[in-house]
Amino acid sequence: MQVSTKVTQREATAASGAAVTILAFSGDISSTSKDAILAAYHGLGGGASPLLLDFTAVDYINSSGIAIIIQMLLEAHKAGSRSIGIFGLSAHFKKVFTMVGIGKYASIYDDEKSALA
């Protein structure tokens, strides 16, 4: 049974002292996640603060879910206004994200601490 996607937003401070926005995902990420994920991203506005995507509480991502993440990253890349980092991926999804080229649009970190460093 699929668990619906939830997205929460919080703020953190990078080691440099810069403000960082974190979108934390939980549940499963699939085609039904599109509205929640894109609404959360678009709700951030066009600011220039760095953005981190937290996948720590995500158990499952299918190919449709990966496509939604790529869509969001491409929108951010085209806007050119903010850097994006990803953390909290399982070893499997870290490998998948690398294989599909997500590293061209976002840095991938092991955990929140290293992402904020």
Digit-coded pLDDT (tens) for 50-105: 999 999 999 999 999 999 999 999 998 888 878 999 999 999 999 999 999 999 99
pLDDT greater than 90 at residue 3: no
In a domain, 64, yes or no: yes
Q: Residue 51 is which amino acid?
A: L
In a domain, 33, yes or no: yes
In a domain, 82, yes or no: yes
Q: DSSP assignment, residue 59?
A: E
In a domain, 1, yes or no: no
Query: Who has greater pLDDT, 103 or 2?
Result: 103
Nearest to 10 by CA among 73, 67, 57, 66: 57
In a domain, 52, yes or no: yes
In a domain, 27, yes or no: yes
pLDDT tens readout for residues 22-31? 999 999 999 9
Q: Does pTM surpass 0.75?
A: yes
Q: Reduce the DSSP state of residue 20 to 3 states and report it.
A: strand
Number of domains in the chain: 1
In a domain, 106, yes or no: yes
Predicted pLDDT at 48: 73
Q: Reduce the DSSP state of residue 13 to 3 states and report it.
A: strand
Nearest to 68 by CA among 115, 109, 33, 98: 33
pLDDT greater than 80 at residue 2: no
CATH number at residue 40: 3.30.750.24
Query: Who has greater pLDDT, 47 or 59?
Result: 59
pLDDT greater than 80 at residue 1: no
Q: Give me the chain's average pLDDT, please.
A: 93
What domain range includes position 97?
6-116
In a domain, 14, yes or no: yes
